[in-house]
Structure 1
Amino acid sequence: MTAAAAAPAAPRTDLARGSTLTGTGALVRFMLRRDRVRLTVWSASMVAFYAYFTFALDTVFADEAAQQARATVMETPAGIVMGGPGYGIDHYTTGVAMANEGITWVVLALAVLSILHVVRHTRTEEESNRSELVRAAVVGRHAHAVAAVLTLLLAQTVIAVLSALSMVAVGDLAVTDSFAMTVGSGLSAMVFGAVALVACQVTEHARGALGISLAVFGAAFVVRAAGDMRELGGSTLSWFSPIAWAQQMRAFVDLRWWPAALSVVAIVALLWIAAVLASHRDFGGALLRSRPGRPEARASLRGPFALTWLQQRGALLWSCLGLGLMWFATGTLMPEIGTMIDDLVADNAAAQQIFGADPSQLSVSFLAVMIMFAALCCAGYAVVMTQRPKAEETSGRGEIMFSHPVGRTRWLGAQVAVAAIGTTVLLAVSVYATWLGAVVVGWDDQSFGDYTVVVWTYLAALAVFVGLVVALYGWAPRLTGLGWALVAYALIVGMFGGLFDLPDWAYRISPFDWVPDAFSGDFSAGDVALLWGVAAVLVVLGFVGFRRRDLQTG
């Protein structure tokens, strides 16, 4: 053997300094191919929302009286919290209504897209060890993260362009303002995607990164709402929320582009922070390391239920913290809301026609809307956590579990049980945090028992979301994302159903339509029992389908 043959191989130089982005282009193409259906559905849904919302505002509320009636609504605390700071109220046109009433919800949807996309292609891939296989090739350290951000930017750009064109085509709105609204909303949502990338460096698990990112969004929502409540048009506090940056562009009223620069600066800064953190941690690790486990597991931990709980408890903790603070803050606004509505109704005949003349009932109506929004957030959590069995199966961890004496029914039962328990806990935290916030400031129009009734009734509707995802997972795992379609539908019908003049059967598709309005005193045991029955049938179907099909990996 010659000396040359015996010499060790030369070290790789392709990933030397300055080449940490090697392979980014190939990963971008791979991610786009992998998510072509997912991103197409998201894009089509967002464009359809823009187009339909524009059409509804331009037809149902075409006359000046109807538009000013909506403007009156947007001046109320409920309108400010659920909408925005209230620009252009004195001349409320379709474009102004789109900006005032739609930006918050558009940013919410696009932020969820951003967070899920970034976590899916970074921390989830790293956690499943697929990234390790990819990085065995010529791929730089930061290529995965940069490719995830670039594909997200491309998706947000497509959504912004097509949505703006749909607004122009359907409502004949100003082109520049339409693009300003969609681009500003997309940039604000990208901020939360960058937050998710930072969270992926902090925690070892995708569930924890999701929980942290959603908690940050919840805090941003509260800050924006509290800031806008202080002063019409927004106060200094509003500017600390990325959601407000899109609203402060004042599309269709007094357009200004510079607030969008705040989103760009925030995105760049967060990406830089994520890059620095990624360079100072081990692959597969995180800045917050898990504590070392016990030498021997306790008897209570030797089963699929305990393992599932350990996997999901981080996301539940952060979700409870973020939503709990958000709804506690909402509860503290109740006395101020009552006072503002009293004054509005006393001086405005149009407001009396819309809300009625009883101020106490107006406050309760606002609270009921907040509770339904809290339930929608819990429905999103239910969909995410009920999809966890699919992630365990495709990552190969399910096969490892089944190599032990664990049956399919027991394993899936543990997954569904933990997701259902977490959803129940999150709903209870959200509802009771609202109650506690109201009690702290002396607003006690509704008792603790009234809030408890709300928890039990809305829990039946949330069970349907869990059941739908379980049924899809059992028979068609690739379609579990349709659970989000039901969440989106329930949001549109529940929040904007009055705009669309939908038939009764369209409302009944939403599980929340079968639940009586919070604090209304109405209760239909038959409707609630029907929801539980539907949920039970869906769960049983899911278990049957899971037992009949082959496992899927990769």
Structure 2
Amino acid sequence: MTAVTTTAPADARRRTRAATGQLAGTWTLLRLALRRDRVMLPIWVLALGGSFSSVGSSIASLYDTAAQRAELAASMNGNSSLRAMYGPVFDDSVGGLVSWRMAAFGAVLAAVMSLIVVIRHTREEEETGRQEMLSAAMVGRRAPLTAALLTALIANGALALVVAAGLAGAGAGGAGAVALALAVAGTGVLFACTAAIAAQFTESARLAKGLTAAVIGAAFVLKAAGDSAADDGSSVLTWLSPIGWAENVRAYADERWWVLLVLAAAVAVQAVLAYALAGRRDVGMSFLATRPGPAQGRIATAFGLALRLQRGALTGWTLSFAVVGVAFGGLTGGAADLVGDNAKTREIFERMGGQAGLTDAFLAAMVSVLGMVAALYIVASVLRLHGEETAGRAEPVLAGAVSRTGWAAGHLVIAFGGAALLMTAGGLGLAVGYGHELPAVLGASLVQLPAIWLLGGVTVLLYGAFPKAAVAAWGVAGICLALGWLGPAVDMPQAVMGVSPFTHLPKLPGGTGMEWGPVLTLTAVAAVLVGAGVGALRRRDVLS
């Protein structure tokens, strides 16, 4: 009996030391992660969190009477297409309408922020070889994953505080603000764990991001299908989606606090799975091994290599634009119901899409939204050059007979040509969803290309001349997206709106007709930026 009583505490101490050793270096890695993300995370948190208070202020000014808000809620719940996009309205107060407008989209954007953070500090570190060097020091096996998840947790916690404080400042505070903030942040943490699991299964950060993004997209589709079928959030499809859980917290409408416990349980299950998987593989390896290539090479050109590397992302973006275009087109017929007799709402759509009639203004506004989202694609596609270079894969290619200009051109054709493909798919989807006006809608979609290409040109210039600052292109695109989304709602001064190239494009369909001056000017500026960026790439050293 004596041997047993002395051995058991010793075994417990050994297990404790082993567990502690696997987390060694966590706080150091956490400080490193927060330092690396000291610019990106505050921008994400403030921009996303601030949008809640902006929407709250806009709704309070647009629908300043209870009767107007009740009419809006009835119109939304009676339109299945609008429910699919935004969800049902559970309460017609200002806070309830903010929750209706922002719960799902806020949860999606929090999820995107979380997947970027987790993959950046796990799979990207392994893919570049930095994690192997860190692991050679006093860094535990599970420390990198723990630091990445803690970084995501801190980011989502800060987001919750900004959302709750912003809503309180907009006059929609109280328990509803806390519930909405926790629902959005909780969804972000949940998908951070999803990204952690994806990072264990793939050897590529790009594929890990793609898998997590696909899960987020599937969750939104399930929520949309469920909300389209039922106007009270009770559909089984809605409850199968974590984004649907955030919606069913029902902020400002007799809050269902127990739904947050469902989110917490899902976070715990996924975190346990991620840690279990992380403990069963070597650094740099994955459970889904990369298939070996053919014995004899089949890619003969730089363009062929770029297409091979980017074809999956391009296909996914194109299909998404087509589907979203059909959804936006289906909403066009209900634009009048959305606006009703509210003159202020009509003014917002006219500022976004022109003054040639409500339907044309709505179509123009939706086309502009597609264009701003396509700008995110072109930034990501151009920055693939930066990723190939920093990962060390560009150097072997350039060591052969491939010139820097030819190598870059292959990716730029995919980026700029892919943007044109996206807008074509989106325009066709809009026309199909709306039911007619194909030439006008498709033409309006393609008119967005000069602004998209200009942002692509800015990205090329940053990458070519200032490679370490290339990621700042995301900030430029984010500013343009924020101006296009929130600027018309808060009636920003034209001098501020003019920062975005999308502001200078003709408002089509409708408007005063095609204006070639701004289109040709933006295209020429984009060409100059691309040329300057490629020229700078030819003169500088390759990153190591």
TM normalised by structure 2 equals 0.83
Determine what percentage of the aligned residue pairs are the same residue. 31
**Equivalent in 68, 72, 85 of residue 88 of structure 2:** 85
Note if contact 1:72-1:351 (Cα within 8 Å) is conserved in structure 2: no
Q: CA deviation at 1:148?
A: 0.8
Answer yes or no: is 1:530 the counterpart of 2:521.
yes
User: Do the aligned partners of residues 185 and 174 (structure 1) sit closer, same or farther apart at CA in structure 2, a change above 3 Å counting?
Assistant: same
Q: CA deviation at 1:292?
A: 1.8
Note if contact 2:375-2:452 (Cα within 8 Å) is conserved in structure 1: yes
Using the alignment, how far apart are the partners of 2:342 and 2:19 within structure 1?
67
User: Do the aligned partners of residues 451 and 165 (structure 1) sit closer, same or farther apart at CA in structure 2, a change above 3 Å counting?
Assistant: closer
Match of 1:255 in 2: 255
Match of 1:417 in 2: 413
Q: CA deviation at 1:38?
A: 1.9
Match of 1:231 in 2: 230
Q: Deviations over 1:156-189 (max 9, x none)?
A: 1112113322332x22433332222112111112
**Counterpart amino acid of 2:514?**
F
Please list, as runs of the form range in 1=range in 2, the aligned pairs for 1:352-501 lying within 5 A after superposition: 354=346, 369-433=365-429, 438=433, 444-447=435-438, 449-501=439-491
Please list, as runs of the form range in 1=range in 2, the aligned pairs for 1:245-394 lying within 5 A after superposition: 245-279=245-279, 281-298=281-298, 301-321=299-319, 324-325=322-323, 327=325, 330=327, 334=330, 338=333, 344=337, 354=346, 369-394=365-390
Using the alignment, how far apart are the partners of 1:477 and 1:483 within structure 2?
11
Q: Deviations over 1:37-81 (max 9, x none)?
A: 222322333343344444444456545566567556645556534
Answer yes or no: is 1:513 the counterpart of 2:512.
no
**Equivalent in 21, 31, 43 of residue 29 of structure 1:** 31
Pick which of 70-79 and 239-248 moved more.
70-79
Using the alignment, how far apart are the partners of 1:198 and 1:426 within structure 2?
30
Match of 1:180 in 2: 179
Q: Deviations over 1:335-376 (max 9, x none)?
A: x974x678x599x655999599xxxx8666655554444433
Using the alignment, how far apart are the partners of 1:287 and 1:320 within structure 2?
29
Using the alignment, how far apart are the partners of 1:127 and 1:492 within structure 2?
32
Pick which of 68-77 and 412-421 moved more.
68-77
Q: CA deviation at 1:210?
A: 2.1
**Counterpart amino acid of 1:416?**
L
Q: CA deviation at 1:150?
A: 1.0
- RMSD between aligned residues: 3.6
Match of 1:8 in 2: none
Using the alignment, how far apart are the partners of 2:265 and 2:424 within structure 1?
38
User: Do the aligned partners of residues 475 and 345 (structure 1) sit closer, same or farther apart at CA in structure 2, a change above 3 Å counting?
Assistant: closer
Note if contact 2:81-2:228 (Cα within 8 Å) is conserved in structure 1: no
Q: Any gaps of 5 or more consecutive residues in structure 2?
A: 1-14, 350-356
User: Do the aligned partners of residues 394 and 491 (structure 1) sit closer, same or farther apart at CA in structure 2, a change above 3 Å counting?
Assistant: same
Please list, as runs of the form range in 1=range in 2, the aligned pairs for 1:75-224 lying within 5 A after superposition: 75=77, 76=79, 79-89=82-92, 92-93=93-94, 95-168=95-168, 170-224=169-223
Note if contact 1:511-1:531 (Cα within 8 Å) is conserved in structure 2: yes
Q: CA deviation at 1:151?
A: 0.7
Using the alignment, how far apart are the partners of 1:366 and 1:230 within structure 2?
25
User: Do the aligned partners of residues 388 and 141 (structure 1) sit closer, same or farther apart at CA in structure 2, a change above 3 Å counting?
Assistant: same
**Counterpart amino acid of 2:184?**
S
User: Do the aligned partners of residues 310 and 133 (structure 1) sit closer, same or farther apart at CA in structure 2, a change above 3 Å counting?
Assistant: farther
Note if contact 1:14-1:138 (Cα within 8 Å) is conserved in structure 2: no
Match of 1:9 in 2: none
Using the alignment, how far apart are the partners of 2:321 and 2:279 within structure 1?
32
Using the alignment, how far apart are the partners of 1:429 and 1:283 within structure 2?
40
User: Do the aligned partners of residues 117 and 103 (structure 1) sit closer, same or farther apart at CA in structure 2, a change above 3 Å counting?
Assistant: same
Note if contact 1:219-1:326 (Cα within 8 Å) is conserved in structure 2: no
Note if contact 2:88-2:231 (Cα within 8 Å) is conserved in structure 1: yes
Note if contact 1:207-1:315 (Cα within 8 Å) is conserved in structure 2: no
Note if contact 1:215-1:323 (Cα within 8 Å) is conserved in structure 2: no
Match of 1:504 in 2: 494
Using the alignment, how far apart are the partners of 1:499 and 1:97 within structure 2?
15
Using the alignment, how far apart are the partners of 1:425 and 1:290 within structure 2?
29
Q: CA deviation at 1:472?
A: 1.9
